[in-house]
């Protein structure tokens, strides 16, 4: 693990007009700035996170970035005992799906909580790792933690 430097955060991938494209790479660049960002569909208003260039609800391709507050409730979770090799040192750990207050759902790892204290419906916050993973993708990671 290494500390995030501004150079490693990289530049946003932009279109020919200079607008930041709705890609997962750009989503993680915002994470490096401590921002949880989604795109909002300009056709149907759906909030999509992580972002996609095509809206999954109406198939529109016109959207804009919006910052999310990073608060929500735990929809479901599971405990991982046999993780992929890069997460071996963390096992057992919890991954869950957070239903954000803005209405979208985000999968992620849950930290700073005793596994036995996890409850469906508990309030969680999104936070960001201060270090970069060694393995690809070398993006800053977000995670969930209890709100209180």
* Binding positions for Zn ion, rule: CB under 5 A: 41, 43-44, 46, 55, 57-58, 60
Q: Which residues contact 52 (CB under 8 A, 6 or more apart)?
A: 22, 39
Nearer to Zn ion, 60 or 92 (CB): 60
Question: CB 69 → Zn ion: shortest distance, Å?
Answer: 21
Q: Is 134 helix (H, G, I), strand (E, B) or coil?
A: coil
Which of 77, 50, 84 is closest to 146 using CA atoms? Answer: 77
Alpha-carbon gap, residue 105 to 33, rounded angstroms: 21
Nearer to Zn ion, 58 or 130 (CB): 58
Nearer to Zn ion, 37 or 48 (CB): 48
Question: CB 57 → Zn ion: shortest distance, Å?
Answer: 5
Alpha-carbon gap, residue 129 to 106, rounded angstroms: 16
Question: CB 59 → Zn ion: shortest distance, Å?
Answer: 7
Q: Which residues contact 31 (CB under 8 A, 6 or more apart)?
A: 128, 139, 140, 141, 142
For 90, the token pair is 């963390």
Question: CB 134 → Zn ion: shortest distance, Å?
Answer: 37
Nearer to Zn ion, 47 or 118 (CB): 47
């Amino acid at each position: 693990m290494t500390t995030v430097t501004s150079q490693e955060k990289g530049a946003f991938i932009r279109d020919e007009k200079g607008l930041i494209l709705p890609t997962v790479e750009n989503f993680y660049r915002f994470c490096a700035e401590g921002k949880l960002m989604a795109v909002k569909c300009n056709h149907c208003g759906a909030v999509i996170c992580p972002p996609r260039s095509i809206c999954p609800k109406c198939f529109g391709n016109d959207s804009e970035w919006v910052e999310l507050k990073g608060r929500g409730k735990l929809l479901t979770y599971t405990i991982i005992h046999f993780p992929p090799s890069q997460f071996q040192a963390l096992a057992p750990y919890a991954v869950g799906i957070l239903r954000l207050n803005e209405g979208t759902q985000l999968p992620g790892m849950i930290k700073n909580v005793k596994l036995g204290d996890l409850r469906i419906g508990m309030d969680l916050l999104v936070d960001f790792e201060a270090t970069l993973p060694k393995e690809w993708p070398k993006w800053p990671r977000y995670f969930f933690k209890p709100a209180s």
